[in-house]
Amino acid sequence: MRTAIISDIHANLEALQVVLEHIKTQNVEHTICLGDVLGYGPNPVECVDLVAEHCDWSLMGNHDFGVLYEPTNFNAAAEQAAYWTRAQFDAETDKETAATRWEFLGRLKVRVMYDRFLCVHGSPRRPINEYLFPEDAINSPVKMQQIFERFDKYCMVGHTHVPGVFTDEPDFYPPGDVEGVYTFHDGEKVIVNPGSVGQPRDLDPRASYAILDDDRVEFFRLEYDVQAVVDKIKAVSELSDWLGERLIEGR
Ligand code: ZN
């Protein structure tokens, strides 16, 4: 079952369109989304519509939760972006369209078993909010052990915006260390993070996503018009300019 995995779009339409176009050329049967369609970016409504159209399902990310319910534990820029995002959905004048979008957001799932994979936005322990960082593989053996105990064999997460594969050694393999393809070994447990479509944080500004195919996962990076998004963010006073600057730097 060849499946495209996208995550952390963060209302970045330009990045999402490039990724969806690329997915079309990859002969996949399914596309799934690990959450955070919303937050930070200038095109939340358009991104929700595209995810609803192209993905089998999407998970509830902490930013989706913040827009739908309450933005708790957000920094000032993220909190202001969440309120602005909510206002964009409220501004829809067609009642039926507005209701469809709110219903889609209300149906976002906290955890999904997809084939052999437990899918969560954050971590199997705290599915919406907990970060699983690459450095945890070295610095936090107890955390890693507790997280790996929470699932059978395979898991996928988003949330950190850093692509790669965690193993139960524990170790972390960025795509660059494995030439973009990681093959699962017999007997090991893995956690796959496809990286972020709309706000990468591994110092590479290109959009990130992955394709899962049986016992291997392939990572892709795609150029998109970052400057167009930066300009849109600048034009919205409720979205901090810093949200654009970090897109240019990929952090
Ligand atoms: Zn995110």
Query: Over the stretch 15-65, which tens digit does the pLDDT of each residue have?
Result: 999 999 999 999 999 999 999 999 999 999 999 999 999 999 999 999 999
pLDDT value at residue 44 = 98
pLDDT value at residue 126 = 96
For residue 233, what are its two tokens?
A: 């963010």
Residue with tokens 């976002």: 108
CA of 183 to the centre of ligand 1 (A): 26
CA of 50 to the centre of ligand 1 (A): 17
Tens of pLDDT, residues 1-23: 899 999 999 999 999 999 999 99
CA of 186 to the centre of ligand 1 (A): 31
CA of 58 to the centre of ligand 1 (A): 13
Domains of the chain: 3-249 (3.60.21.10)
DSSP line for the chain: --EEEE---TT-HHHHHHHHHHHHTTT-SEEEE-S--SSSSS-HHHHHHHHHHH-S-BB--HHHHHHHS---S--HHHHHHHHHHHHHHHT---HHHHHHHHHHHHT-BSEEEETTEEEESS-SSSTTT----TTHHHH-HHHHHHHHTTSSSEEE--SS---EEEETTTEEE-GGGGTTEEEPPTT--EEEE---SS---SS--SEEEEEEETTEEEEEEE---HHHHHHHHHH-TTS-THHHHHHHHT-
CA of 148 to the centre of ligand 1 (A): 22
Contact 79, 29 (CB under 8 A): no
CA of 165 to the centre of ligand 1 (A): 17
pLDDT value at residue 104 = 96
pLDDT value at residue 1 = 87
CA distance 80 to 107: 24
CA distance 218 to 233: 31
CA of 105 to the centre of ligand 1 (A): 15
Average pLDDT over residues 132-151: 97
pLDDT value at residue 73 = 85
CA of 68 to the centre of ligand 1 (A): 15
Crossing angle of the two packed helices 44-54 and 13-24, in degrees rounded to 10: 20
Q: pLDDT band at residue 72, thresholds of 50, 70 and 90?
A: confident
pLDDT value at residue 196 = 98
CA of 8 to the centre of ligand 1 (A): 4
CA of 61 to the centre of ligand 1 (A): 7
CA of 187 to the centre of ligand 1 (A): 30
CA of 161 to the centre of ligand 1 (A): 6
CA of 128 to the centre of ligand 1 (A): 10
CA of 154 to the centre of ligand 1 (A): 21
CA distance 109 to 158: 14
pTM to 2 decimal places: 0.97
